[in-house]
Copies of this chain bind each other. A is one copy, B any other.
Amino acid sequence: MVKVAVDAMGGDLGPSAVVGGCAMALQANPALQVSIHGDQAILGPLLASHSVFSDRLTICHAPEAVSMEDKPSHVMRHGRETSMWSAIAAQKAGEAAASVSCGNTGALMAVSMLQLRRMEGVSRPAIACLWPSRGRHGFSTMLDVGADVKAEAPDLLAYAIMGATYFRNDFDEPRPRVGLLNVGTEEHKGRAEIKEAHDLIARHQENGRYDYIGFVEGSDLPSERVDVIVTDGFTGNVALKTGEGTARLIGGFLKETFRSGWISMLGGLLARRALKRLSLRIDPRRVNGGVFLGLNGTVVKSHGSADATGVAAAIGLAAKLAGSGYQGRMAERLVIAARAAQDAPEGDQA
């Protein structure tokens, strides 16, 4: 059995979508238990229609909720009564192996850092996401996609190590290929901290058990060249949302295409099965969930706009990760790199 703590509040579609997602996840995985955190008066009636799961789905009452407008610093000081805090606290107390929230990303990271603490060797935790790609496993991993708007060179090295461990765990890939996001692949281009990270990530290939392929560009994100894309949380967040927005735009254009006359409509009708497969292939709900890396515990941030299907995917991901033991392997790699840096001659800052 694996138990996941779920924050019921803070998603755009409200607690009913979250409860629906819990039910879907419990249905899909008989070894799953869920504690759902939020206002008992709201959650009680919603859970009534899922009484079949009553032995595996329990409510933890928390009277308040974090809003999207709340500043992380405010939640850290005054958020002890919120459902978000309650979920992470349950994980800290060992009552859950992982947590999931659709709420305010900045607040979730702040509350998680405060309670679960950072791994040794990590000064900035990161959020990792999966990205549909032409790669050998159909996905690449990008991090950071929004935990922190800045990253120094040693942070980018930690992202490389954490991302490689995460990708290796998820896809059983012994040597993930790591690329550093830049505005060109030439060595003289880009910002100072990126040039420094370029050397650092190259030097730690054996400590992190990855192959460093050098700089990659935005166009490489969905390419077959790279498994793990390392970048700061500002750039990564813009790239992630730009990719999603572009996919949505083209998806909309495609729908219009098959409504632009009866012959096209007939064509779309004939190809509808294949088109359905295509839309599944580029559906962000399938891989819903940014994973917080670099904390002592697994926390999954679901899309704020996730529906029940999306929430269920995030809970499934959290349960899978909690059972995989990747946290221990990641901590080991980070410590090995930190010790190597200490033993190294001058010039290595990690």
Contacts and interface: CB of A to CB of B under 8 A. Distances in A.
A263 to B, nearest CB: 5
Contacts of A242: 218-219, 221, 239, 242-243, 246
Contacts of A277: 257, 260
Contacts of A190: 149, 234
Contact of A268 (B106, B231, B271, B282): B271
Interface stretch (A167-175, A180-188, A319-327): A180-188
B245 A223 contact: yes
B245 A257 contact: no
A93 interface: no
A331 B235 CA distance: 31
Among A220, A234, A261, chain B packs the most CB atoms within 10 A around the CB of A234
B268 A281 contact: no
B282 A271 contact: no
On chain A, which size bracket covers the interface? 35 or more
A69 B187 CA distance: 9
A238 B150 contact: no
Contacts of A240: 218
Interface stretch (A54-62, A248-256, A310-318): A248-256
A80 to B, nearest CB: 21
A195 to B, nearest CB: 11
Q: What is the count of identical protomers in the complex?
A: 2
A62 B191 CA distance: 33
A238 B241 contact: no
Contacts of A282: 250, 253
A264 B253 contact: no
A-side binding surface: helix, strand, loop or mixed?
helix
A257 B234 contact: no
Nearest to A183: B237
A278 B250 CA distance: 9
B247 A250 contact: yes
Contacts of A273: 263-264
A241 B191 CA distance: 18
A133 B267 contact: no
Contacts of A76: none
A254 B268 contact: no
A146 interface: yes
A257 B251 CA distance: 14
Contact of A264 (B181, B222, B271): B271
**What are the 7 closest A-B residue pairs judged by CB atoms, nearest first?**
A218-B241, A267-B271, A267-B270, A218-B242, A219-B245, A264-B274, A222-B249
15 contacts: A69-B186, A106-B189, A149-B189, A190-B234, A217-B241, A219-B245, A219-B248, A220-B245, A238-B239, A250-B250, A257-B278, A260-B274, A264-B271, A267-B270, A267-B272
Interface of A: 68-69, 71, 106, 132-134, 146, 149-150, 181, 183, 186, 188-191, 217-223, 231, 233-235, 237-254, 257-258, 260-261, 263-264, 266-275, 277-278, 281-282
Given A219-B242, A242-B246, A261-B274, 15 more contacts: A71-B188, A133-B249, A190-B234, A191-B234, A218-B239, A218-B243, A218-B245, A222-B246, A222-B249, A234-B235, A257-B274, A258-B274, A260-B274, A263-B273, A264-B270
